[in-house]
Structure 1
Amino acid sequence: MKKQLLLIFITLLSIKAFGQTYRLSGRITDPQDHPIGFASVYIKNTTYGTSANEAGFYAFNLKPGTYNVVYRFVGYKERTEKVTVNQAEERRDIKMVADSFLLKTVNVKSRRGDVAKDIMQQAIDKREVYEKQVKEYSAAVYIKGVQKLVESPKKLLGRDVAKVLDLDSSGKGILYQSESLSEYNYKDGKVKERMIASKVAGQNTAFSFNKASDLEVNFYKNLFEVTGLSARGFVSPVASNAMSFYNYKLLGSTSESGKTIHKIQLLPKRKHDPVFRGVIYIMEGDWRIYGTDLLITKDAMINLVDTLEISQQYVPVSDSIWMPASTQYAFKGDVLGFKFDGYYAAVYNNYNLQPNFPEGHFNGEIMRIDTAANKKDDAYWALTRPVPLTTQENRDYIKKDSTMKIRQSLPYLDSLERADNQLSPFNFTVTGYQYSNRKSGKVVYVYPFYTSIYYNTVEGWGVMPRVKFSKTLKDGSSYAITPALRYGFGNKMFNANVNFAYNYDVPNQGAFFAAFGGDILDLSDVGTRSLTFNTISSLISENNFVKYYRSRYAKLGFQREVKNGVLLNTELSYARRDQLYNTSGNHIFDNKDKEYTSNNPLTPLAESPLFPSHDALTFKASVLFTFNQEYVTRPTGRVYEAPEWPRLKVNYRKGMKGADYDFGSAELYDDKVSVGLLGYTAYKFSAGHFFNAKQVYFMDFNHFQGNQGSVFDPTIGSFRYLGFYDHSTDGRFFEGHVEHNFTGYFFNKVPGLRKLKLEEMIGVNYLAAHNTTNYYEAYFGIKRLFLRFDYGVAIDANKKVNQGFRIFYGLR
């Protein structure tokens, strides 16, 4: 029995020893002992490896055995070292020699002086082959990001910058760093990623790449796009039209593993085109990309940063297929004296080109973050991270982890909550006051004072205090109750109402809604102007654009995604509706040439009945189709990606008591359709009809999103000059909106305008409705971030009825 137990024990030890891994580590430098940061290190004839950190240190785990380890970085001679790993850690420091790219080794036949162009033409001819070569694959991906402040002012708004941002005494330090490990799957343009582990320290102040797909750089596509850095794409050096944007210079050629590698310098034909600078390495014969060291600069009109460097290194996965071993974004910038730099690096391991994904694997979920992803301890990361931390990064983690423990302690959280719950003049008047209790999940929000005081010609001066109570439950569901009071001193009318919402199924957007009470409502159900904007225009310019009626109502609603990309919404309501008339004529400036219009949009010069008081029972239903909808599943719920396909919304509405009608409509819209270097187009087309219109009151008409002020809503589907109620209809209609943003295509060619980074756009709006004349708008706009100016003209019944400037500055 003892011998059997001993045998079992020895066997278990053998199994453990066989499965045990040991660390191979070292430092990669040049002959002058300068670090070669982000060099690739991998096992020959495999895709398992790692990348050095910015200080040149590398480390990864291997089972005992003998390996041929390849050390590679573009611009340096590749090295292969035979390394034996026993039952102990192994250190191997490597010195790499700069590669000698000699012009005399070039064997490409060409006219004199056109060798580089001919090499690149060969690569361009193979672009589509390599773009479509790999249909599917899976890989393990590690992403590391660091954002540093390298120089900053000592004071900003009277506050010590170093103290606020947790920097050293010289104003330098790491602002943010993050790591993630993911399983990444790809098939025919669709992706699915599972984030296994995530670690974050600090506050992200610039931009972030948290998904493997964010760092998926494919220069075989014609355009390279980085969301947030530019509204337009950048022409790839091997794009089908690259010869129109680049000149090429052959810097030399060398031999690696029996392959001739050409080093090509990119020379933009025009300084401010959306192109790269730098060097691309092309493999002769295969004419594939061997590596890149490319740069986007301020000359290409990027935002947020001054330069963005993109480096890629490829490794052979099979005899004919090469895939990226690593990708790195390195950036620098300067904003108001804050100089920063940083990088995001992705390391790809264990490529599998025949993953045999099960049917239905790609279901719209492009990423799932495990619930325990952010709970991995330091021991886990020390064992699994493929890129070692630098001394500065490790020190920053320790510092911020200590700070985080303090900030997660109950006394600190209690003190922070008490501070946040303090009432101040600013949150009382401007942002609104919020009281929260993290333990119970309860939040009370009091709407800001400026939204509670208003004026209109129907109610006169009025008050409308509102408060919102919400509670988040342990299962992630939540509910909110919003009571509101409303009193008009002019018509001496008091109203009160309560809205209730219960989000019972967050991942599928499942919710119940209920509301009852009384309120003063806009005759247009698509909205005209807010109470605040209507107050300003009424008092200052005597433009009482909004027309109101009273509704005492009760309604129930339901919403849920019945299938990915198919959102159902229904509502049943009952209301007592009464017409209202003007009771007040206050103004700040006495404009004797102008008078307030009546509260009847059909007879603006005289008060007259628009509809009798009546009851109305109304049923509404809509289905929103988001084709190929993609989303990220977080532990707290889903986050939906911006759709790449058009959306279709189908609506039905029926009046069943008091009112008697059947109305149906459909909307097709897309906010961004790329047209390459010429920018992108947005459009919206809507059509509808009252199939039965026996009794349709004005508030039941189909209304359109008009505008009668100098401030407009830039959302696609809105008009610039259309009167709010002028073309409202109880019959059929069609409206179309098309807008194109050239993303600076023309302005970037004008020296005086180029530095402003303006985006130019043009658009047209059209409306044809039953019993009204055809209406057109054409406009030209200029945009910079959230600020926009438009100038256009409006034509109604073939006559110009309006023209002028419109502005948008972030508020509607």
Structure 2
Amino acid sequence: MRKYLLLLILCLTVVIADAQQFMLNGRITGDKGEPIGFTSVYIRNSTYGTTANELGQYQFKLAPGNYNIVYRFVGYREKVVPVSITDHDERLNVQLENEVFSRDDTATYNRKTDRGMAIMREVMANRERHMNEFKSYTCQVYIKGVQRLTKAPKSLMSSPVIKQLDLDSLGRGILYQSESLSEFNLQRPNKFKEITIAAKSTGGSPAFNYNKASDLQLNIYQNIFYIDGLRSRGFVSPVADNAFKYYRFRLAGTTVSNNRTIHKIAILPKSKRSSTFRGFLYIVDGDWRVYSADLYLTEENDNINLIDTLSISQQYIPVKDSVWLPASIQYDYKGSVLGFKFAGYYVGIYNNYKIDQTFPDGFFNGEVLKVDTAANTKPSSYWNAIRPVPLTPQEMRDYRKKDSLFALQHSDPYLDSVQLENNKFSLPSYTIFGYEAKNRRTKESFYVAPLYQSIYYNTVEGWGIDAQVKYTKKFDDLRSFSISPEFKYGFSSKLASPMIHSEYLFDQWHRGRVFTNFGADVMDLSNVGTRSLWFNTLSSLLFENNYVKYYRNQYGNIGYERELANGILWSSSVEYSNRRQLYNTSYQHIFNPKNKEYTSNNPLAPPGTPADDRSFLFPEHQAFTFKTSLEFTFGQRYITRPDGRTFVPSRYPKIVLNYRKGIDGVFGSDVNYDFVSINISQDHIPIGLTGYSSFRISAGDFLNRRNLYFMDYNHFSGNQGLTFDPTDLASFHFLPFYQFSSNDAFLEAHYQHNFAGAFFSRIPFMRKLKLEEIIGANFLTEKNNMNYSEFYVGIQRLFFRVDYGVSFTGDKKYIQGFRIFYGIR
């Protein structure tokens, strides 16, 4: 018995010893002792490794055994050092030698005969082979991001600012740090799923954010790739199949590293501003694949946003003899805003590749990112144990301070004091933004709409008040309930309009909700809306343009919405209404434009009809209406976080099927019709180097039109003012609000293309403005109306946009002119 017990103890000892891991760390320097930051460090013949920090310090854990450690950095000779891990941590400092790339000739560069051109032809010929070396893989990805303030205007560096941002006397300090650890799964050609195991961040929002593994999936073998946040147009890869149209290449030198011949190729764009990279590619001779890349973009040459320069460094390693994949990728950036200069980086480390994995059915279900419920709660001890890139002293100090600050700011006394301060009433704030009070413990909030939205004027009601409040209650399981009482009163019409709107979100994961609304209101005759109370007030009082036409509606409705499956959203509702015609009762104005008068509240009244017209549009009647729709979002993608689900724009069109029925005889209903329509749309379709396009096509018809009234017609999103809303692609620039409303078959189409600066970026005096060029067309055809069309061109910068367009009814010019948008809808 004792013999077997000793054998068992011995086996357990061996297992425990084998399971133990010890730290290998050290510092990487050059031949002059300078640190070589962000050097790739990995175990030869494996896919496990790390990257040094900016001070050249590295660390990672290894089980006892013998290893060959590879050290690689662009511009330095690759070094392989054998190391033995026994029963303790090991420190291994490494000095790298400058890589010497020799050329066979020293002749003047000739673009036709330079060997770099021939080498790149071989790379391009093998591009497809390298892209298709694997069908799928899974790996572990660690991402670290840091943004620093490197210089700040002295005039703005007061003591409170320096203290708050933890800056030194020169205005330097860390503004933002982030780390994440994920499992990344990819299946060619375009399916991926990322599971975030741990995530940590401190500081404010950075200039742009790449803290997900999918953000750093830069495949240099693709013809065109996009870098989110920098600009809407793509960049031509230097190994694209048409790269010779945009680049010349020069052999900068050749070296032999670990029995591989490596060519250093200089990337020379043919045009200074042609959506191209600059820098160097390192190519493996014979295999004609990318060994590493050292590329950069600049604001001056590439018209990128937010930053001045972006450097991209990527290291590839052999996962198998015939498969090479990135071991690391790094983005370094610099920029300046209003005298503040900043710099930062994101580095991604890829470990433990498993090639040609077989994923279970349904694994790629549209969920592109899932954040574990405990991802953001990992303690410092966890990060100290798994962090592959050691922190610098400054980063450690920043974490300690901001972690302590975070703990303070999330303590109950602090949160209670913040809540008390935020819940104080401020008249200036209420006037513009409204008033909101929250109770974080009960997860309740109370909101009052801003004062400027509460006072309005129109010719039907005269001056009026619109008092709106909203109560919201959230539950721990992500359910929520809201109720919004509203009261409107028109002093001229003497119409009181009490209403209650409520919604119960019972399934946040699948957009499941129930809603109900009831009360009385003075409503727009167009069910797609025309102008808000606020804009209609301004256009009426300042220009005597009472564009919106109103009717009285006493109503009650109830509806239901939920996803039936990923990408299939079903909604349905029923409504009962009592509807009657209204007339103008007030004719006030602030200015009286010459020869300008208010128009009738009957949208079908002929031009010249006086404002006090009481012509007949429809009788008072009752309507019982049923609506349902199915929305198909093909290839719908989404992100799942502990606080809910957010949707990612699909790469495919969306189709919406609508059915609306007026049911005769139910509760005295007078309507009897059936309306069907289909909408097909897609936003932001990337068109390579020339920006992106969007389109929407809608068609419909009344299958039965035995009895319906004007508000039951199919209405279109028209526009009759100087401003317009470009966020709604289905809106027209010049179409009258009600003139084309249809009770018959129709077809409408909208197309818009944003060149995203493709032309303006080539004009020296306009380049810095970063304007985006836009063209578009809208079309409408109906059975009982002439065809309507409009064409426009525009320029856009951030939320400001100016368009000039011309419209036609049939073949006759209708309206032309400018339309503007300045962020307010």
- Measured against the shorter chain, the TM-score band is over 0.9
Q: C-alpha displacement at 1:592, in angstroms?
A: 4.5
Opposite residue 18 of structure 1, the aligned amino acid is D
Q: Match of 2:651, as an amino acid?
A: E
The one-letter code sitting in structure 1 at the alignment partner of 2:715 is H
- CA drift at 1:113: 3.6
Residue 692 of structure 2 is matched in structure 1 by 680
Q: Which residue of 1 aligns with 2:240?
A: 239
Are the aligned partners of 1:649 and 1:668 in contact in 2 as well (CA < 8 Å)?
yes
- Paired position in structure 1 for 2:20: 20
Counterpart-to-counterpart distance in 2, 1:516 and 1:167: 56
Structure 1 residues 274, 159: closer, same or farther in 2, change over 3 A?
farther
Q: Distance in 2 between matches of 1:9 and 1:406?
A: 48
SS at match of 1:317: strand
SS of the aligned residue for 2:382 comes to: helix
Specify the SS of the correspondent of 1:538: helix
Q: 1:440 to 1:12 in 2, by over 3 A?
A: same
Moved more, 165-174 or 759-768: 165-174
Say whether 1:641 aligns with 2:641: no
Change in Cα spacing, 1:532 to 1:407, as seen in structure 2 (3 Å) is same
- Render the CA deviation track for 1:338-379: whole Å, top value 9, x for unaligned: 100000110000111132211111110111111011111111
Alpha-carbon distance between aligned partners in 1 of 2:363 and 2:276, rounded to the nearest angstrom:
37
1:202-222 per-residue CA deviation (whole Å, 9 max, x = no partner) reads 111311112211001101111
Amino acid at match of 2:548: V
CA distance in 1, matches of 2:434, 2:206: 25
AA partner of residue 365 (structure 1):
E
Report the CA distance shift for 1:768/1:233 in structure 2 as closer, same or farther (over 3 A): same
**Superposed, which structure 2 residues align to 1:12-91 within 5 Å?**
12-91=12-91
Shift of 1:100: 0.6
For each residue in 1:680-725, what CA deviation from the matched residue of structure 2 results, as whole angstroms up to 9, or x when unmatched? 1111000000000011110110000111111011121110000011
Please name the residue that 1:618 is paired with: 625
**C-alpha distance in structure 1 between counterparts of 2:508 and 2:166, whole Å:** 36
Q: Does the 8 Å CA contact 2:713/2:742 hold for their aligned counterparts?
A: yes
Q: Does 2:581 correspond to 1:579?
A: yes
Tell me what 1:280 maps to: 281
Q: Which moved more, 1:198-207 or 1:571-580?
A: 198-207
Contact 2:134–2:356 (Cα < 8 Å) also in 1? no
Post-superposition offset of 1:167:
2.6
> 2:756 corresponds to which residue?
743
Conservation of the 8 A alpha-carbon contact between 2:111 and 2:249: no
Residues 310, 333 of structure 2: 8 Å contact kept? yes
> Residues of 1 paired with 2:164 and 2:675: CA distance?
58
Report how far residue 237 of structure 1 moved.
0.7
Alignment of 1:707-746 (within 5 A): 707-714=719-726, 715-746=728-759
After superposition, residues 217-228 of structure 1 pair within 5 angstroms as 217-228=218-229
The corresponding residue for 1:209 is: 210
Q: Deviations along 1:155-213, whole A, 9 cap, x unmatched?
A: 55999532343433332111111111111100011001111111111111311112211
Conserved in 2, the CA contact under 8 Å of 1:764 and 1:779?
Answer: yes
Which stretch shifts more, 715-724 or 417-426?
A: 417-426
- Secondary structure in 1 aligned to 2:824? coil
Contact 2:111 2:250 in 1 (8 A): no
CA contact (8 A) 1:779 1:790 kept: yes
Measured against aligned partners, the alpha-carbon deviations of 1:422-465 in whole angstroms (never above 9, x if no partner) come to 11123210111110000000000110000000000000000001
CA distance in 1, matches of 2:703, 2:470: 39
1:192 and 2:193 equivalent? yes
- The equivalences for 1:277-356 within 5 A come to 277-298=278-299, 299-356=301-358
SS at match of 2:467: coil
Which secondary structure does the structure 2 equivalent of 1:243 belong to?
Answer: helix
Q: What's the offset of the Cα at 1:242?
A: 1.4
Query: For residues 147 and 291 of structure 1, what CA distance do their matches in structure 2 show?
Result: 25
Output the CA distance in 1 between the equivalents of 2:53 and 2:386: 15
For residue 260 of structure 1, what is the aligned residue in structure 2? Answer: 261
1:630 matches 2:637: yes
* SS of match in other structure, 1:736: strand
Greater shift, 751-760 or 339-348, is seen at: 751-760
Q: 1:592 to 1:295 in 2, by over 3 A?
A: closer
Q: Give the aligned partner of residue 250 of structure 1.
A: 251
* Residue of structure 2 equivalent to 1:394: 396
User: Percent identical across equivalent pairs?
Assistant: 51
Deviation string, structure 1 residues 233-261 (Cα, Å, up to 9, x no partner): 11111112211211222110111222211
The DSSP-based 3-state class of the residue aligned with 2:796 is: strand
Aligned to 2:616: 609
Residue 522 of structure 1: CA displacement? Answer: 0.6
Distance 2:9 2:500 in 1: 71
Give the whole-Å Cα distance in 1 for the aligned partners of 2:208 and 2:426. Answer: 31
**2:797 match:** 784
Does residue 386 of structure 2 align to residue 384 of structure 1? yes
1-structure distance, mates of 2:582, 2:3 = 99
Runs of 5+ in structure 2 lacking a partner? Answer: 664-668
Equivalent in the alignment of 2:716: 704
Q: 1:652 matched to which residue of 2?
A: 659
Q: Distance in 1 between matches of 2:742 and 2:805?
A: 25
- Cα-to-partner distance string for 1:494-520 (whole Å, 9 max, x where unaligned): 010001100000010000001111111
In the TM superposition, what whole-angstrom CA distance separates every residue of 1:756-786 from its partner, at most 9, and x where no partner exists?
1111111111000131111010111111111
Pairs within 5 Å for 1:449-528: 449-528=451-530
TM-superposed deviation, 1:154: 4.1
2: CA distance between counterparts of 1:234 and 1:20?
Answer: 46
How far apart in 1 are the matches of 2:591 and 2:160? 46
**How far did 1:5 drift?**
5.9
The aligned residue for residue 541 of structure 1 is 543
Per the alignment, residue 98 of structure 1 pairs with 98
SS at match of 2:193: strand
1:224 positional shift: 2.1
Equivalent in the alignment of 1:422: 424
Q: Secondary structure at the match of 1:727?
A: coil
Task: Work out whether residues 681 and 696 of structure 2, in 8 Å CA contact, stay in contact via their aligned partners in 1.
Answer: yes
Query: Matched residue of 1:103: which SS?
Result: coil
Task: Please point out which of 743, 755, 759 is paired with 2:772.
Answer: 759
Separation (CA, whole Å) in 2 of partners of 1:411 and 1:585 = 56
Give, as a single letter, the amino acid of the residue that structure 1 aligns with 2:556: A
> SS state of the match for residue 513, structure 2?
strand
Match in the other structure for 2:702 = 690
Structure 1: distance between partners of 2:505 and 2:464: 32
Q: Distance in 2 between matches of 1:737 and 1:216?
A: 33
1:9 CA drift (Å)? 4.6
- Report how far residue 740 of structure 1 moved: 1.2
Equivalent position amino acid for 2:268 in 1: L
- Alignment-derived partner of residue 136 in structure 2: 136
Amino acid of the residue matched to residue 180 of structure 1? Answer: S
Q: Residues 157 and 332 (structure 1 numbering): CA distance in 2 closer, same or farther, change over 3 Å?
A: closer
Q: Deviations over 1:606-631 (max 9, x none)?
A: 33121111110000001111101111
The answer for the alignment partner of 1:669 in structure 2 is 681
Residue in 2 that maps onto 1:811? 824
Whole-angstrom distance in 1 between the partners of 2:341 and 2:193: 36
Question: Where does structure 1 lack aligned partners over 5 or more consecutive residues?
Answer: none
Structure 2 distance, partners of 1:212, 1:179, is: 11
SS in 2 for 1:464: strand
- For 2:273 and 2:594, how far apart are their aligned partners in 1? 54
* Alignment root-mean-square deviation, CA: 1.8
Partners of 2:157 and 2:171 within 8 A in 1? no
